[in-house]
Structure 1
Amino acid sequence: MYIFLSILIVIASLILIGAVLIQKSKGGGLASDYSSGNQYLGYRKTTDFIEKATWTLAIFICIMSICASFAVKTPVNVSNIQNAAPAPNSAAPAPVNVPAAPAAPATPAK
């Protein structure tokens, strides 16, 4: 489900990019110097449709993002950290073979 919602979000984002790029300039910022050339290139109904499509796509992306966050399966909180002290064992640890210290040489009695 998460993958399906992610694909919908990506497709809507690409369409939104296209809708923003084809919108008619409102005349502000850098576009204010060149706005006189853009006034004759569009119809009013087309501009209204593109603006409504932009808002609709933006709202759709927001809603799908929220739905996708609920679709993610949360992992069960299981700690893999072991206790610092080892668990008590009923069996005693095996003895380690350590060579005995060499005996002192015997000195002959005089």
Structure 2
Amino acid sequence: MLVLFGILVIIASIVLGLIVLVQNPKGGGLSGSFGGVGTQLMGVKQTTDVLEKGTWIFAGVVGLLCILSPKFIPTGDAESKNADLIKNAPASNPVKSQNTGTLPGAAQPTTP
């Protein structure tokens, strides 16, 4: 689920960047680059309104996704449950060595 939020944030950020880049900081915007075609189809005022609304919408989407995504980060509860299971598991009997002798060439223990 966290990967889905990450992908959505990246897509919304790219779209937001493209919308901001299309706008002209001097107020001309998209309609100024088409030489009057925007005025005939939608009007200059309406084009800048659409781009401004799109900027606010996608900025809100990015912000909302960034605020909601930490709710889906897995916590350490699963790890602590596994640690409790391992700690409370019955101890297995260790295998005792049947060979009490020493290896050839090994130092013999001395008794006091």
Taking structure 1 as the reference length, the TM-score comes to 0.56
2:65 alignment partner in structure 1: 64
Higher helix share: 2
Equivalent residue pairs, number: 74
**1:13-24 alignment to 2 at 5 Å?**
13-24=13-24
Q: Which has the higher contact order (CA 8 A, sep 6+)?
A: 1
Cα distance in 2 between the residues matched to 1:26 and 1:62: 26
In terms of Rg, which structure is larger?
1
Cα distance in 2 between the residues matched to 1:73 and 1:100: 58
SS in 2 for 1:41: helix
CA offsets 1:40-80 (integer angstroms, 9 cap, x no match): 716211111001100110011111111111011111374x8
Cα distance in 2 between the residues matched to 1:26 and 1:55: 19
1:47 alignment partner in structure 2: 48
- How far 1:100 moved relative to its partner? 6.9
SS in 2 for 1:51: helix
SS in 1 for 2:64: helix
Cα distance in 1 between the residues matched to 2:52 and 2:11: 18
